[in-house]
Structure 1
């Protein structure tokens, strides 16, 4: 029986690390912004998004 091992090339490993860091940075930024934003600003943003995508909200 032949064992097949998959290894990442250094370039792919670097791209994966970059993607993880970018996603983490964006996620933390979203949490930070939404955590410190006034509730009315978040409500208005969600409300405008619903109207822009033709979802009824009233």
Structure 2
């Protein structure tokens, strides 16, 4: 029996909405803080982390 993936819906229960939204907000804050920070320490830490994960950054 084949399952149509387009007809399958993913439902998020109400108990997961708050943790998911808080996690998204924390992630956006962290990316925004590091991305727009004028502190060299923050920039260098993010830069070194990207290189250690083999993620191209420049």
Please report the TM-score for the alignment, with normalisation by the length of structure 2. Answer: 0.47
Which has the higher Rg, Structure 1 or Structure 2? Answer: 1
Please report the TM-score for the alignment, with normalisation by the length of structure 1. Answer: 0.47
Q: Determine which structure has the larger helix proportion and give its number.
A: 1
